Amino acid sequence: MSAVISSQVVLSRTPEGPLAAYIGSFANALNTLGYAVSSVHRQVRIAACFSRWLGQERVALQSVTADHPVRYLQCRAQHLRSCPGDLAALRHFIDFLRREGVVPAEKIAVQQLTPIDRCAEAYEQYLREARALARATIVNYVPFIRDFLSHRFGDGPVMLSRLCAGDVVRFVQCQAPRLHRRRAKLMTSALRSFLSYARYRGDVAVDLAAAVPIVPNWSMMSIPRAIAPDQVRQLLASIDRRTAIGRRDYAILLLLARLGLRSGEVASLKLDDIDWRVGRLTVCGKSGHRGGLPLPPEVGKAIAAYLQRGRPHSTSRCVFLRAKAPVRGFQGASGVGSIVRHALQRAGVDAPTTGTHQFRHGLATEMLRKGASLGEIGDVLGHRHLQTTKIYTKIDIVALRTLALPWPGGAQ
């Protein structure tokens, strides 16, 4: 006898077993997340078979664990051919049951922390709570400190009071030759931060941060790689705005090119961040700093077109959503970077890079050439220090040529 599970799924028999009562809710959850009808039907069908097997094995509801899907598929493989997505479907089902509070969360065995782990975690907490540093900075700093502690103390106890200047110098001399100049400079910055933290705690009496060797780093030695205005126009013209994905990608590219947003800022943009009445956008930048920017009509129209005729139905407050299930906001900056990379490839644009930062550089370059001050450029790009913006003075080639001295002898 067939059983109607949802408006889109009908099974050949009524679900049985300890999880049968939750099959319909699981189907509705998959529909909400934007899965295709065929995918919903396949996942619901194997979930129902899994529940029936649990009943046959006399597994109680509160006893279901992440191991049971694996055991079920091993048993099922003896008489039926498995499909590649079966295990993933059952894991989706288990995750759904956990979110609903039906199945208890897995108990994760608590691992014994090493002395280095405890010291590194305390430092990480200090950076996050006391210093309020950006997550990216913390992620970059902590591994260097783990390496430093391992280099000095090995598997033994970590006694910061025994650190001396020689320990610091030897570590930098050992590691710096293996690293790119920028990574080596980042390592020394992490060491100075950690040694200042150790002194702040009272574990170190002297200023060991001053003993960290300096990695040569000439200010603004490189030129920002900026995408050219004609390349931006070619890229935008290549987007098919007749499709939902095209309208989304076009709006994202405009935010990058016209406002110079970082990829992470685009990914984290929420519906509440747009004030349509006054035409203003609130952006959450580095270190949680929030700033406002005027919303150009061109950008506002593109976002509105996506919201009205492209954005999937979702409870998410993120402006931009994934096009494929599960439909939700981007997990991070990499999603926006992927959109840019594929758009450049499809358009055949020979851009300086395949990343998103070239749009910030391109915007700053154009503003400088049109007479904008460094302060105005820094305000648009969300720079908190003028020194960060000064690098763009190197790319105003026309202005720099006026400063060049004649070559002796008249040669050009």
CATH code for the domain in which residue 161 is found: 1.10.150
Report which residue type is found at 158.
Answer: V
Residues 206 and 237 in one domain: no
Q: Is 41 a catalytic residue?
A: no
Residues 312 and 259 in one domain: yes
Nearest CA among 117, 211, 103 for reference residue 164: 211
The rounded distance, in Å, linking the Cα atoms of 194 and 131 is 12
Catalytic residue among 152, 322, 357, 361: 357
The pLDDT assigned to 291 comes to: 75
The pLDDT assigned to 209 comes to: 93
The pLDDT assigned to 82 comes to: 75
The rounded distance, in Å, linking the Cα atoms of 74 and 53 is 12
User: Which single residue is written with the structure tokens 């992620």?
Assistant: 139
The pLDDT assigned to 403 comes to: 46
Q: Which long-range contacts (CB under 8 A, 24 or more apart) does 134-142 make?
A: 134/286, 134/287, 134/288, 136/286, 140/186, 140/190, 141/186, 141/189, 141/190, 141/193, 141/194, 142/190
Q: Is 286 a catalytic residue?
A: yes
CB 48 within 8 A of CB 72: no
The pLDDT assigned to 80 comes to: 78
Residues 85 and 126 in one domain: no
The pLDDT assigned to 409 comes to: 60
Give helix 135-153 / helix 165-175 axis angle, nearest 10°.
110
The token pair at 119 is 């010291």
Number of domains forming the structure of the chain: 3
Catalytic residue among 41, 68, 248, 383: 383
DSSP 329: B
Which stretches of the chain score pLDDT less than 70? 1-4, 6-8, 10, 107-111, 217-224, 285-290, 379, 383-412
> What Rg, from alpha-carbon coordinates, does the chain have?
28
Residues 195 and 276 in one domain: no
Residues 177 and 244 in one domain: no
The pLDDT assigned to 120 comes to: 94
The rounded Cα 68 to chain-centroid distance in angstroms is: 32
The rounded distance, in Å, linking the Cα atoms of 305 and 100 is 35
Asked if residue 216 has a cis previous peptide bond (ω within 30° of 0), the answer is no
Q: Is 392 a catalytic residue?
A: yes
With respect to residue 411, please indicate whether it lies within any of the assigned structural domains: no
Residues 247 and 314 in one domain: yes
The rounded distance, in Å, linking the Cα atoms of 50 and 65 is 12
The rounded distance, in Å, linking the Cα atoms of 284 and 291 is 7
pTM of the model: 0.67
With respect to residue 34, please indicate whether it lies within any of the assigned structural domains: yes
Residues 73 and 144 in one domain: no
The token pair at 161 is 């009071």
Catalytic residue among 247, 311, 360, 361: 360
Q: Is 357 a catalytic residue?
A: yes
The token pair at 70 is 């694996």
Catalytic residue among 52, 68, 262, 322: 262
Residues 154 and 198 in one domain: yes
Residues 41 and 185 in one domain: no
The pLDDT assigned to 79 comes to: 80
The rounded Cα 57 to chain-centroid distance in angstroms is: 42
The pLDDT assigned to 134 comes to: 82
Catalytic residue among 192, 286, 328, 390: 286
The token pair at 30 is 């998959």
Residues 282 and 322 in one domain: yes
Domain carrying residue 188: 115-211
